Structure formats: structure tokens, C-alpha cells
Amino acid sequence: MDKANNKHEDLIEIEDSENYKGGQTNTFKEICMAQYRKAVEEGSKQMLSGGVEKRLINGQIMEMPIPNQREIFFNSVEMLRILLTAHISDEEKLMKVNMESFDKDIDGLNKNHEEQLLRLRQWFKDNNNSKQDNTRQYNEQVKSFIDEYELNKVQLNKKLLIELSILLNKKNYFDEQGVTGG
């Protein structure tokens, strides 16, 4: 890495309120590695779709929100990509091609998902949407489409995380200090 980029990275500071120690500053490399760890941790969890779960607490039924783990993973990977965008230089043509391929795959997935939902909405409209069976069937189909879409997006984001891992390795971010933050 050239001295100009290194100088710029030294100026970036971040405060993590959970782990903040007075006078501590993080380098850009440490920030990237912390985000990488976050993406790996979130990608290692069960990919629940989120929603609301009803639980009996102290004799009362309480609605407990369940975060969408898939969205948490997507956001973690996307933030890592944003951080590393400046590191994708002209010499890394394969990396640029792979990023463009990822973007096309995501765009295609999004377009296909929207088309499926539009066809389903049209079916619902054409088939007397006031019938209870049609409403139930419609809701089940929407849930199924969303699950399929999100699970496909998880797989694409895992491929992106592999590419970002390769970039971090090329930039020597996996040395002992970068991995442990120490």
C-alpha cells in the first residue's frame, strides 16, 4: 500500500461504545477486520427470516420481535464491501469482474422476485380476492417467494464474502495483528 493511502487510513477514527477504552483509536485495517468478523459471525448464524414470536411470560402472552438474520447478514457484508471498495484497484481486474457479476446476479434476483410478486398480485386480483382460501393461499405464496428470494440472496452474499476475503488476504489483512485486533 502506498504512503498516501496509509496516511489517509491513519486519520480515520471510530468509537465502538461497547468496547471503547479511553484514548484508544482504531486504524482503518482494524475497522475492516472488525466488520469482516461481524460479517462472518452473522453469516454463521441460522438464517431466520424474522417476524414476531408469541411467548408466555409471567402468565401473559407477549409478542417478541425476531430480527431478520438474513437482512443482518446482507447488511454486514454490504458494509464490508463499502469499506473495501477503495482497495479494489485497477490491477485487480478479476475482483472487479467478480463484483460486477455479483451486482448483475443481485439485480437479476431482485428483478425475478419483483416479477413473481407482480404475477402473484395479479392472480390474487383476478381470482376474487375476497375469498378466504385465496387470501390464505396468497399469503403463503408471498411468504414462500420471500423465503426463496432471501435464501438465494444469502448464497450470493456468501460468494461476495469469499471475494472480499480474497481481497483482504491480498492486502495482508490476515496477519496476526489484523485478525486479533491486538
Rg of the chain (C-alpha set):
22
- Cα distance between residue 36 and residue 165, in whole Å: 8
pLDDT tens column, 46-75:
998 888 888 988 999 999 999 999 999 999
pLDDT tens column, 149-174:
999 999 999 999 999 999 899 888 88
Domains in the chain: boundaries: 3-180
Which has the closest alpha carbon to 69: 140, 166, 131, 154? 154
Which has the closest alpha carbon to 117: 151, 147, 73? 147
Which has the closest alpha carbon to 120: 142, 136, 140, 135? 142
Q: Which three cell numbers stand for residue 22?
A: 479511553
Q: Which three cell numbers stand for residue 26?
A: 482504531
